[in-house]
Amino acid sequence: MFKKAVILAGGLGTRLRPLTNDIPKPLLPIQGKPLIEHIIQNLKSHGIKEIVLSVGYRSEQIKNYFGDGSNFKVKISYCIEEQPLGTGGAIKESTKYLDEPFFLVWGDNLMDIDYKKLYHSYLQHNTLIIMALTHREDVENFGVAELKGDMILNFVEKPKQEEAPSNLINAGAFIIDPKCLKILPEGKSSIEKDCFEKLAPNNEISAYIHLGQWFPTDTLEKYYHANDHFKPINN
């Protein structure tokens, strides 16, 4: 199984102010631990121990907390976003030395995804990307996947419930072949618009349905809900 992962965690967390006035979003506590520590622990529990943290806002605090990862029994390196690069630019910069598929994880979602199952599904489908999807009833707040079998054909952004092609949304966990990142322009870009939306119609993105916990934390309301209801993964 692939041993490397990139966690995208460079956002400003503006919708979480005032909590993020002095603390970067990845270090906000959930059940007594920084949000991103839960993500790292789940990766580690599945044998994924080489982790790149793509960070920007108050990155020194994050580096001071995690260091090289040895205290957490993983190996952590950092890609510092000096200027906003967008999701695509940040991922491209973080993976420029990788030549094999890697796990990619959004740093502001909490879930108990089974990365081994995601990996085996990736091998079965033989696509450039496999994307974890999760069920949501409030599809009008998310980008919704349109599927044909196990293949993602398209994404519909924040549709009305009666017009949504499914109730499955991007859960923020992937396996990505770095070859597909060549499609991204240099500098700032969006992985969603400049990569996913272009590859999906070509049958290059397969879907893995995550049925377990999934808590977004990008607003104060969602953050407090996650803090109250997320059940930490035991290592």
Nearest CA-CA partner of 9 in 25, 20, 22? 25
Q: Is 158 a catalytic residue?
A: yes
Q: How far apart are CA 88 and CA 13, in angstroms?
A: 18
Placement of tokens 């349109």 in the chain: 146
Q: 133 with 168: CB under 8 angstroms?
A: yes
Q: Phi and psi at residue 227, in whole multiples of 5°?
A: -65, -30
For residue 96, give both structure tokens. Answer: 């420029």
| Residues contacting 25, CB < 8 A, separation 6+ | 9, 11, 12, 13, 16, 35, 57, 107, 108, 217
Of 33, 117, 158, 231, which is the active-site residue?
A: 158
Nearest CA-CA partner of 172 in 204, 228, 140, 215? 215
Active site residues: 158
